[in-house]
Chains A and B, each alone.
Chain A
């Protein structure tokens, strides 16, 4: 089974802090994705990557950036955290679909 590991389950950060969310997958998937999940809004795609050092904006990229230096690792960066970025963040990887394997999520609270 593919394993997608997110480095933190829960994070509390202060407004204005720079936040790094890390994701690692172990199945050599080309594609990796970052989503946020909010009640009533479902999953929304922030950024995705089809290859190392390659990134594409998703539906809600504002306030976020990403880094993919190695195939197995995809990082999401909140340059200056704000309270409206409090959310559940989910990383996914896949060969084709927009994420057939998800991590357990990071619940980020910005205070």
Chain B
């Protein structure tokens, strides 16, 4: 079983839709949970990070962590074509750090 599982998609939504991106994990030592956005031919860009369980909001983005289910989510409200990218989750704890393989998102105008 992989440490971090992420559906690769691709995911295609119309502009204005609410997008839900998810990752599951197996290592209960993970304490920090990150989401990165990666545009084509660019390096990843840190979008949000949260510590332990709960929600964190930043503009149109909300990160949610459920440690009891070992499940994290990133919600994008009012999605825009500029949100089209690959989204990577990452997790850190117990001296272990793992990235998910990424979900490809396309927002259609």
Q: Please give the residue numbers on chain A whose beta carbons come within 8 Å of chain B beta carbons, in ascending order.
A: 4, 40-43, 45, 90, 92, 97-105
Contacts and interface: CB of A to CB of B under 8 A. Distances in A.
Interface residues on B, range: 10 to 19
A102 B32 contact: no
Contacts of B45: 102
A45 B96 CA distance: 11
A104 B44 CA distance: 8
Contacts of B92: 97-98
Given A104-B41, A105-B41, A42 B100 contact: yes
A21 to B, nearest CB: 13
Contact of B88 (A43, A45, A100): A43
The residue in A43, A100, A104, A105 that gathers the most chain B C-beta atoms within 10 A of its C-beta is: A43
Given A42-B102, A92-B43, 19 more contacts: A4-B43, A40-B101, A42-B88, A42-B99, A42-B100, A42-B101, A43-B44, A43-B88, A90-B44, A97-B32, A97-B34, A97-B46, A98-B97, A99-B44, A100-B49, A102-B45, A105-B41, A105-B42, A105-B43
A83 B109 CA distance: 40
